[in-house]
Amino acid sequence: LPMVFVDTYLKEAQTDFVATDNRKGAKELVERLIGAGRKRIAYLGSARSLSATDERSEGYSESLQAAGHFDSALVKRNLSGYSGVEEALSELFALQSQPDAVFVESLSYFKPGFKFLATRKIKIPETVAIAGFDKFDSHWLDADYTDANAILRVEQNGEAMGRLAAVRLIEL
């Protein structure tokens, strides 16, 4: 049975797939944060272990380790969609040395994060920079505390990936 995975793949299965280079995208985002002077970069991610999420986590870690800034206390890989975002941020911003940036595995579930930061009058990007994958709804943002244009992101083109996967499936 021919199969083509989209946006993720099974490492143990030999199947075709169409995906973003998640490791490279994560590395580039983190390197941009580091280049902007950010050193305490937190990671918010899913508890699920998928190729995409694992590669994003690896890219994040590799960039910070290379720069000598990796701190495991800033890594929160226990989220389940919206669930857990506020709790993770509460823990991170309770640290004596708070993060100056947050890398989000998927901005599509960061709505409570934007609310958390605005409620505490934490300005983006002045106080904390935000970077991550995927799109988010600009209506989630409080314009007094967030410059939407300053949020660094990798936006995947799901429609194009789907078309490529369909073409490849037909070829099989």
Q: What is the pLDDT of residues 119-169, one digit of tens each?
A: 999 999 999 999 999 888 888 898 888 888 899 999 877 788 788 888 888
Element (H, E) at 55: helix 51-67
| Residue 3 pLDDT level (bands cut at 50, 70, 90) | confident
Please answer whether residues 19 and 51 qualify as being in contact, where contact means their C-beta atoms are separated by less than 8 angstroms.
Answer: yes
Q: Please count the CA atoms within 13 angstroms of the CA of 23 that sit on its side-chain side.
A: 7
Q: What is d(CA 133, CA 145) in angstroms, rounded to the nearest whole number?
A: 21
| Residue 14 pLDDT level (bands cut at 50, 70, 90) | confident
Phi-psi region of 121 (alpha: psi -120 to 50; beta: other; left: phi over 0): left
Q: What is d(CA 17, CA 6) in angstroms, rounded to the nearest whole number?
A: 6
Per-residue b or e along 91-107, where b marks 16 or more CB atoms closer than 10 Å to that residue's CB = ebbeeeeebbbbbbbbb
Q: Output the six-digit token pair for 123.
A: 């300005």
Stated pTM of the model: 0.88
